[in-house]
Amino acid sequence: MSLPETYLQMLSTVTEAGELRMELKEQPMPTPKPDQVIVRVEATPINPSDQGVMFGWSSMGKAKGSGSGAEAVLTAPVPPVGMKTMKARIGQSLPVGNEGAGFVVAAGDSPAAQALMGKLVAVMGGGMYAQYRCLPAMMCMPLLEEHTAKDGASCFVNPLTALCFLETMRAEGHKAIVHTAAASNLGQMLNHICQADGVDLVNIVRRPEQAEILEKIGAKYICDSSSDSFAADLTDAIHATGATLAFDATGGGDLASKILSAMEAAAARTPGAYSIYGSIHHKQVYLYGGLDVSPTTLNRGYGMAWGVGGWLLPNFLAKAGQEVAARLRARVVAELKTTFASHYTDEISLSQALQPEIVARYYAKTTGEKFLVCPQMDL
């Protein structure tokens, strides 16, 4: 098939004047190198991790839109603290969108690239909020005939993150997991995996209706942080499961501290497990998201055997190695319509993704809601 001479790509720029500017820019269609392919992007999700690049530290409550179709532009002021934090990216037009799926419509002459010609592939290569994407063939994961681009759009970030939580658990010698924002797409996947693999999972949600979502998929341990009995419920669940590892999607506030306190309280119920320095077994909370942008607060009262740190999927996969990554990706493809199925609140075009009223909806990062950008949809 013949390709257009140009295509549209979404870019995010922080200007020296203190303004965030997001727009669609026309880009020249590249010629793939021997080991590259060109993917016609059909579907790409908006993940919380994407929004970090899209909006950074701008004041999105004051965002304004102008233009329409290919001329759509979104702007928002950036406060001084945001300009200081994003100093390194001022003046740079950054492509956005971590992952997506589409058809390979052109390929270089290497055997690996040619083998993908015409196939539906999932991609995690950055810059996916675009009509086309040129990237190395090795970054593409071929999907099965039964799959659609919508099926494969969220093939990487959430499924691999959930699987790598369990890989981390096993590597560090833990036996159960605590997870926050647990009714999210990722949280539901994690529940399915843990149930299949026989791993106990303690789910923390923020509202009763989120607990109901998890109850419907068979979650056993659910703790509502809005409940007056949250601390007691969490301690009971951790004591029942023996969980000493947590993954926190909120990041800010004192939730990580509350989890550590509950782990310590649960450990104190076990005879012989306590010393003057607190429980002996190491307790670990990893922050992997930023749903709460306030400072992380630790109210120390959980002994001396604990840790709080950051966790990032690409870093873990790089350390785990290609063999582990290949094994996990194979599982994702095999269970794409079951364990790793994603559900979307709405499907939008590239230009609609820049409309203030739609941005406000997905910027809210409401648990259980997920938006899908369809770059081939009419602008």
Q: In angstroms, rounded to a whole number, what is the distance separating the alpha carbons of residues 62 and 151?
A: 34
Whether 169 and 310 map to the same domain: the answer is yes
Structure tokens at 186: 């990722």
Whether 107 and 207 map to the same domain: the answer is no
Cα–Cα distance list, 292 to 146, 206, 356, 359 (Å): 38, 12, 21, 18
Q: In angstroms, rounded to a whole number, what is the distance separating the alpha carbons of residues 172 and 316?
A: 13
Whether 143 and 168 map to the same domain: the answer is no
* Residue 378 placed within a domain: no
Nearest residue to 205 via CA among 232, 229, 217, 187: 187
The H-or-E segment that residue 51 falls in is helix 48-55
How many domains are contained in the chain? 2
Contact assessment for residue 127 and residue 33, using Cβ atoms and an 8 Å cutoff: no
Q: In angstroms, rounded to a whole number, what is the distance separating the alpha carbons of residues 165 and 142?
A: 24
Q: In angstroms, rounded to a whole number, what is the distance separating the alpha carbons of residues 238 and 243?
A: 5
* Residue 276 placed within a domain: yes
Structure tokens at 6: 């140009």
Structure tokens at 203: 């789910």
Whether 129 and 270 map to the same domain: the answer is no
pLDDT at residue 379, as a whole number = 81
Domain span holding position 226 = 161-316
Whether 246 and 150 map to the same domain: the answer is no
* Residue 287 placed within a domain: yes
Would you write out the chain's pLDDT as a tens digit for each of its 379 residues? 689 999 999 999 999 999 999 999 999 999 999 999 999 999 999 998 899 999 999 999 999 999 999 999 999 999 999 999 999 999 999 999 999 999 999 999 999 999 999 999 999 989 999 999 999 999 999 999 999 999 999 999 999 999 999 999 999 999 999 999 999 999 999 999 999 999 999 999 999 999 999 999 999 999 999 999 999 999 999 999 999 999 999 999 999 999 999 999 999 987 765 677 888 889 999 999 988 989 999 999 999 999 999 999 999 999 999 999 999 999 999 999 999 999 999 999 999 999 999 999 999 988 778 999 999 999 8
* Residue 338 placed within a domain: no
Neighbours of 114 (CB within 10 A): 14
